[in-house]
Structure 1
Amino acid sequence: MTSPSASSRKALSKIASNRLQKELMEWQVNPPAGFKHKVTDNLQRWVIEVNGAPGTLYVGETYQLQVDFPEHYPMEAPQVIFVPPAPHHPHIYSNGHICLDILYDSWSPAMTVSSICISILSMLSSSTAKQRPADNDRYVKNCKNGRSPKETRWWFHDDKV
């Protein structure tokens, strides 16, 4: 889908590699409900299956997240996108980019892939309408040529969804 940013094309640091191996082992023992890691031989890119939670607009629907880890994870946030087709949601663009503060400005090295997944599921579950962001077409047009969502200056102004 989207090509990773220049920083995430570099090999993982020893710290990042150790942290991801630890997170992967924890995931295998205690995966977050509604998520399934699709096993590959690439520690730097995870593909995660997301199932819509019961009682929400997305119940019975399945989506895929692509998580690309930068060289200096967890000091730097991973790039997380939905592999199209992305869910219709006021904070998810049709190209899979997600407007969620913890993926950018509010990232903390204490966060994990599991905590990201839980936040995304919470965001999906709280939605009251299946619709694209108002600026979807303009944003997607501006993201041609593999632009990373981490290159976007996000404006986090809606905490209702």
Structure 2
Amino acid sequence: MSSLGTKRLGKELANEQVSKSLPPGITLVKADDLQEWLLDIQVLDQNPIYAGETYRLKFRFGKQYPIEPPEVVFTKQENRPIPMHPHIYSNGIICLDLLGSSGWSPVQNVESVCMSIQSMLTGNTKNHRPEGDADFVSTNKARPKDIEFYYHDNEV
């Protein structure tokens, strides 16, 4: 990891552990190193799809972070399912523009990514996976941040 990435993640980690600065519904679970973090996320509104559920996010930081995005996926662990959502595949890959190379900005950080995902879940009204989920999960070999997604629900 670059010295910029090391400094940036060290600062983010210190802020989150010392001041507990994460927004409500987002909890840092594990950050033993500056390469992989686990966070739990909850939807705090009255969305019936996610009521009472807690989901686990895995962040992996590459050598070029924060210039390039981290890999962020949902993981199924313990009693943490992968949420049903039209932009979340059953293997945990999230199609969200800010997680891709073309939508990422170095001003983003762990907190802002979590808040964007939390907002994405909050606004969801469709309790299903993306179109072609089974085929995508069985054939995809690309890293999550290298996938160019097409958003079917954004068609005019």
Residue 80 of structure 1 is matched in structure 2 by 72
From 108, 113, 117, the equivalent of 1:111 is: 108
Alignment of 1:5-154 (within 5 A): 12-28=1-17, 29=19, 30-56=21-47, 57-84=49-76, 85-104=81-100, 105-143=102-140, 147-154=142-149
For 2:4, what is the secondary structure of its paired residue?
A: helix
For 1:102, what is the secondary structure of its paired residue?
A: helix
Contact 2:66 2:106 in 1 (8 A): yes
- Counterpart code for 2:144: P
The alpha-carbon deviation at position 63 of structure 1 amounts to: 0.8
> Share of identical aligned residues, percent?
41
For 1:16, what is the secondary structure of its paired residue?
A: helix
For 2:74, what is the secondary structure of its paired residue?
A: strand
Contact 1:100 1:156 in 2 (8 A): no
RMSD, matched Cα: 1.7
For structure 1, which segment, 40-49 or 100-109, has the greater mean C-alpha deviation from structure 2 after superposition? 40-49
Tell me how far apart the structure 2 counterparts of residues 22 and 156 of structure 1 sit (CA, whole Å): 34
Q: Tell me which of the two structures has the higher relative contact order, counting C-alpha pairs closer than 8 angstroms and 6 or more residues apart.
A: 1
Tell me how far apart the structure 2 counterparts of residues 124 and 139 of structure 1 sit (CA, whole Å): 21
For structure 1, which segment, 63-72 or 35-44, has the greater mean C-alpha deviation from structure 2 after superposition? 35-44
Q: TM-score, normalised by structure 1?
A: 0.85
Q: Structure 1 unaligned runs (5+)?
A: 1-11
- Counterpart code for 1:74: P
- Counterpart code for 1:69: F
- Describe the superposition over 1:103-160 as per-residue Cα deviations: whole angstroms up to 9, x where unpaired: 012100001110000000000000002111111011101126xx42123221145459
- Counterpart code for 1:155: Y
For structure 1, which segment, 52-61 or 73-82, has the greater mean C-alpha deviation from structure 2 after superposition? 52-61
The alpha-carbon deviation at position 43 of structure 1 amounts to: 1.6
What is the total number of aligned residue pairs between the two structures?
147
Residue 6 of structure 1 is matched in structure 2 by none
Q: Structure 2 unaligned runs (5+)?
A: none
Contact 2:69 2:145 in 1 (8 A): no
